[in-house]
Structure 1
Amino acid sequence: MSEPAVRVALVEDDDDLRASLSQALRLADFTVDAFAAAAPALAALDADYPGVVVTDLRMPSVSGLELFATLAQRDPSLPVILMTGHGDVATAVDALKRGAWDFLTKPFDPERLTASVARAAQTRALALENRRLRLAAEADAGDGLLGESAAIRRLRTMIPALADADIDLLIEGETGTGKEMLARLIHQAGKRRRKRFVAIGCAALPEALVDGELFASVGAGSVTTADGGTLFLDDIDRAPQRLQDRLAALVETRTVPGRGRDPVPVDLRIIATAREAGQRGDQAIDPALLYRLAAVRLRLPPLRERREDIPLLFAHLLARAAARLRAPLPMLSDAARAHLLGHDWPGNVRELAHFADRLVLGLDPLADGAPSLASAATLPERLDAFERAAIVEALGATDGEVGAAIQRLGIPRKTFYYKVQRLGIDLPALRRRRAG
């Protein structure tokens, strides 16, 4: 499969020059959409044009400057390169200040044009990918459980079935994986959503509250406030033994001690969370509680096990951070993408959300356009980082299957292996990490 060509919309009213520039661009492996005037170009180019616009500045009827202004209204991220005569340099510089990508003063070497187009095309590809991810995140935002990995798809399909089933659940996973969010989704999807979702943090609950309030038959701090709804027990594996004993009795009898001799029944569904067995140790949850509680055990995998979900999830978190902080949505740079896919994210979704906050606030050197990023990496280094991230992402999305990754990337097999070797990508290590 050949590498897909970048599209270039060339707008030039001089027939000979248009033919010459078209040939130079095609020889550089670009696909050219040639227009003799601005009007037909405007009719053909929309906000999703997958390429770069190159236009002459002086043209009859609609000038190149007017063409740029109209395209900028449709899509400010569409790169427009202006071709100008010496007398129009000041106008072109003003257009640069208003967002034009570049300008070339005639006559110019065709290699200058192709180099400028190549740089603009890289930025355009990033902008369109960011847009695709944001739209996908918005489309899936109602689910609350973003991702297309097999584990996340399976959990999403289980939510409707579990929502109205009156059985208790144990959700296991590392810190920051979104266990409480999954519990709330299950609660909100079922008949119990009309009643309360009462959350109790078991790790830091004082013993006085266990005996005095939590299992009282009345009171704002009692489990009875979840009657008809869901009782969410967070960090059950960190609960003191006294609390675990009382919870085991609650799970078994669905009652709390009354003021008289008779216990008080309580109708509730219990969803608990815990660290994974390997993290918490065998004795963290008393068997008397564990086997009563865990009618169904769900596992939320850490981000390092579902790397293919990271771009989509991050796009959602970035948009949410920008809205919350009332700040513009930053461009996700190639360096940021490389970090997203190369970092292990031990804090999982919570750490990813903090990274999004920093990017939105301009406090992270990986933010596109940040001075520290420009000083830290040259353009070739940034391009290498982007290519490496794209290859790692493709391998992650295909479970390390090289043939499928090559097809996903749309490059020849020889090019793939050349880039893997040049960029220092350890294929066996990636396969081992996927397998583990």
Structure 2
Amino acid sequence: MSKAMKIAIVDDEKDMRQSISQWLALSGFDTESFSGAEEALKVLGPDYPGIVVTDIKMPGMDGMQFLRKIKGVDSSIPVIMITGHGDVPMAVEAMRIGAFDFLEKPFNPDRMTELAKKATQSRRLTLDNRTLRRELSDAGALMKKLVGESSPMKRLREDILDLGQADGHVLITGETGTGKTLVAHALHAVGARANKRFVLFSCAAFDEDTLARRLLGPAQDDEPIPAIEEARGGTLVLEDIETLSPALQLKLLSVMNEQGTPPETRIIAICNLQEQGKTCESVLRPDLFYRLAALQITVPPLRQRGEDILVLFTRLAEEFADEYGCETPQLSAQEAAQVLQAPWPGNVRQLINMAERAVLQSRRGSGSITSLLMGDEEQQKAAITTEGKPLKEFVEAFERMLIDNTMRRHKGSIASVMDELCLPRRTLNEKMAKYGLQRSDYL
């Protein structure tokens, strides 16, 4: 969950600071106040999680000097300038330098709230994209986000890198909980638009009329700018594209046709159909479908990812154990087989929930993985059968998980791992090479 955005209020007049702070606090913002620019600059770092509201006329460092200092610290921090009537030309100059907007005294508090919402939304997108770019700045980090060495996951990573460099629209399909939104983030982060806007929009979140305005405009006075405008020049991700009505599909197609080639704004559509017998192609207009599906990625379901499931479970359990301050639960051979054979209808999202519950059970000293997998009779049957999988696959998956877990626990100490697993050095080396495990990853 994203943290609340802060608003730094800078004004030498105490009453004005308190008035703005109280109003924005009532509007749901987290505010902090400063009597001068020098004081505020002490907390305004490159990744400051918020925006700045500042007066132009202040003793010492004035608003214009302050603005230039902020832009030197982090040019993307939105700065809203407050100006008196006679300072409007100065405010216009501030906009030229890079101010987000300005308010002329006496200003309407609702206008202040409106600007604060737009500015904090812009800042959140900037920080989210910045974080994502850092995480996906190299192949190792990309592997960390999209865990797995199964063939489907290797192919998915290759597709992301290939399609990320292209400039056309993309259609992402796959079952619920497989990580389609993460793939959309990755496509944007590894592409040429990584420094541009990234806007995530749910097509299932509004009624027909509101959806049309929020997506394509024109927006009403009390609404944010339409998503298509907000994402201009960057990437617009449309979740649940299949819920768009035929009329809205036609309007969206018209907007896409107006953009030309390459498109001004790249659209990544996420299709999340759950109804049996239906496909994205069958519910979208053919011309819209083929426009979106020229570049297509299908995210594999968890049940097709083999031993990736155990790797994912271990990583997730470690994270939750660290969060709850307890030991990471270890799977037995039987539990590992059950995890590998479970149908996972909720995919990665379901695995995340189960890993957290497993950690909580372990902390209490009760429960088992088997009990967590027994959601209903059909799931229970699927979870405890090994039919259709050769024994060798289960043995290798469990063996890899066991060595991986032991290496993590002993922080890469080969001697400690050899002692705990009763393995000679040569055998351990051979097995680590076989499973692609490297000691340097655990140090």
TM-score normalised according to structure 2 size:
0.47
Tell me: higher relative CO, structure 1 or 2? Use CA pairs within 8 A at least 6 residues apart. 1
Larger radius of gyration: 1
TM-score normalised according to structure 1 size:
0.48
